[in-house]
Structures are given as C-alpha cells and as structure tokens.
Amino acid sequence: MKLEELAPPALAALLSDPEVTDVLVNGTESVWCDGARGLQRVAVHLGDTAQVRALAARLALAGGGRLDDARPAADIHLPGGIRLHAVLPPVAPAGPLLSFRVLRREAFSLEQLVAAGTMPPDCADLLAALVHGRVNFLISGATGAGKTTLLAAALGLVAPTERIVVIEEAAEIATPHPHCVRLEAKVANTEGQGGFTLTELVRQALRMRPDRIVVGECRGAEVRELLTALNTGHEGSCGTIHANSARDVPARLAALGSLAGLDQATVAAQAASALDAVVHVRRERGGAARRIETIAVLGLSQGKLVARPAVLVQPRGLERGPAWDELAGRLGW
C-alpha cells in the first residue's frame, strides 16, 4: 500500500518532501519537521486523539506490526523507506507520539560529503585509507548524527572485487557497491515466533564468504558475535554505534557486551584486538550540518579499553592527536 493511501495528505506531503528527514507528531498538540533547516514546528493538524491513534494503528498494521492497548509502543517499517516509532497513551499520557524517520533515498558519496562540509578533503583521504587498509572501525555519534550515511559512503570505497555482507535491523544503508548483500533482522510474530536477531545474523553472515562484515548499528548482544568474528580474521569490517563522543565508545561497548553476558575486562580485551578505530560524527547544534569530529584509536590502557584521538578534524584539515603514530602504524605508514 502506498503512503498516500495510509496517511492524511498533509502528513504524506511532509514525508515525501526531499528536504525532510524526520516528522514528529506530538499527540494533537503539534507537528514538527527536521531537515535542511533544523527542527521546526509546522502547521499540520491530524485531528483529535482518537484520529491520531487510529492513524498510528493503521500505519502499524500496514508495516506488519501491531499497536493497541496490549502493545502500546512499536517500531514499524513503512513503504517508501520510512521508519516509524509510535507510542500510545497511557505510556504517552498527552496523546500518541509518532516519530517518522525518512531514510535517505540516495547515497552520499564521500566527495558529496566533502562538498557538504562534513569533512575536509584530507579527512576523506584518511577514511579511504582506513577502508583500503582493511582497518576495523566503528562510526560513532548521537541519534541522527549521520552515522549510517557516512558508513554507506565508506562502503562505496570498497573494491568491487570484494563481497560485503551487511547486517541490519532494517535495510537502511544505501551503497552503490556492486557486491553488497543484506541480511535483515526479523521481529517475532505476536505469538513470539519466527524472530531472527542480529546475533543470529552475524553467525549466518560468517558462512556466506564475506570479505567484509558490516553491522549497520551495534545496539545489543550481537556485539559479542561481532567481536568474535573480527578476532577470527574478518578484517575490514565496520559498523555504527551510538555514543556522544569517541571517548564514550568503550563504555557503550561494555554496556552492549554486558547484554551478552560479557564482563568489562573481556569486552575490553576483545574489543582492543578486534577494533582499530572510531570515527566520530556530530550534528551541529540546531542545524542540518554534520561534521566528522575526530578519529580515535581503540586500545588498552592499564587493562581498560580507551579511545585516544589520532586526529582532530578541523574545518581546514586534520590536526594530529596523541594516538596518531598508532593509527599510522595500523595503516602501515
């Protein structure tokens, strides 16, 4: 079913606007849009609470999910590459909260990201060196910082002779790479059956002759399988991770590892040998611009996992940080 048949015209129009990245419906109170001009309130009204609730339930059903009193929150994939998170009262006391994310339809190339000011040219060269040098790296950043977009651009640099297996919660990564196959997690049905987790997908990917394994977003227990895979010779892998700074990535990895029953020391040891670098991307406050802020090296310091800056990205170019020699060493420079 098309979006126009599911959503009121005003909402469908916002969601199909190429400048819009997010549409946020706050009950009957207000509707907000994020995109090229930053977060802004828009004059769209979707009716009373019952109407907004019915809209949410209809969209959930169209996305193969369920949203009702028994299940008041859901993550839904809609036609046209739109991801919807919806939560109903009483969990959302002031009315249904709908958060739409419009997934990018076309990939940004690295050159386009340079042109958009996301990184200076020498940072793009360094990123290319990470990819070609088969360095294992994570792209970190806050929500909506541009992690997935940057990852897709980086994958565009992988040689066409290599086979990439991408593992995602939902198909998001748009890359022009000619040999990129995808595995997508599957939510269990209402009886709790038929679910396929990211952890299971990492195991499957290992049997698919990957040259590179890519985990779209490390967000749970699959981090254990990923670290194991990377420690058994799968070089050149990458993924994204949610963190507010490169320095926070070790703590985030520890938290994810604990979901898989790994203690902090084990995560530290495994991650230090599995992962080489972290590329941190930040969204400018109040605007649409994204910038790569730093590239850090992951390693052990007194038994603890730490991310130490190898380069600080300035608007005009790269500034070397304390871990520069280590990064250069990993690149064989």
Ligand X SMILES: Nc1ncnc2c1ncn2[C@@H]1O[C@H](COP(=O)(O)OP(=O)(O)OP(=O)(O)O)[C@@H](O)[C@H]1O
**Residue pair 17/88 in contact by the 8 Å Cβ criterion:** no
User: Rule CB under 5 A: is residue 175 a binding residue for Mg ion?
Assistant: no
> Which of Mg ion, ligand X, none interacts with 144 (beta carbon under 5 to 8 A by kind)?
ligand X
For ligand X, give the closer residue by CB, 21 or 231: 21
Cα distances (angstroms) measured from residue 155 to each of 148, 196, 234, 237, 250: 10, 25, 16, 10, 24
User: Rule CB under 5 A: is residue 149 a binding residue for Mg ion?
Assistant: no
Residue 250's nearest CA partner among 303, 179, 202, 183 is 303
Which of 148, 175, 237, 270 is the binder for Mg ion (CB under 5 A)?
Answer: 148
- Tell me, rounded to whole angstroms, the distance of Cα 196 from its chain centroid: 19
Q: Which amino acid is at 188?
A: A
Shortest distance in whole angstroms from residue 252 CB to ligand X: 13
For ligand X, give the closer residue by CB, 244 or 264: 244
The per-residue DSSP string of 92-126 comes to: STTS-EEEEEEPPSSPPPHHHHHHTTSS-HHHHHH
User: Rule CB under 6 A: is residue 147 a binding residue for ligand X?
Assistant: yes
Which DSSP helix (H) or strand (E) runs through 83?
Answer: strand 82-87
User: Rule CB under 6 A: is residue 149 a binding residue for ligand X?
Assistant: yes
Which part of the chain contacts ligand X (CB under 6 A), choosing from 72-80, 121-129, 138-146, 293-301?
Answer: 138-146
What would the x/- binding string for ligand X be over residues 247 to 286, using CB under 6 A?
----------------------------------------
C-alpha to C-alpha distance for 238 and 103, rounded to whole angstroms: 20
C-alpha to C-alpha distance for 123 and 131, rounded to whole angstroms: 12
C-alpha to C-alpha distance for 255 and 207, rounded to whole angstroms: 28
Shortest distance in whole angstroms from residue 291 CB to ligand X: 8
> Which of ligand X, Mg ion, none interacts with 113 (beta carbon under 5 to 8 A by kind)?
ligand X
User: Rule CB under 6 A: is residue 148 a binding residue for ligand X?
Assistant: yes
Q: How many residues bind Mg ion (CB under 5 A)?
A: 2
Tokens of 29: 């109170």
User: Rule CB under 6 A: is residue 107 a binding residue for ligand X?
Assistant: no
The footprint of Mg ion (CB under 5 A) covers 147-148
The footprint of ligand X (CB under 6 A) covers 21, 104, 113, 116, 118, 141, 143-149, 217, 240, 288, 290
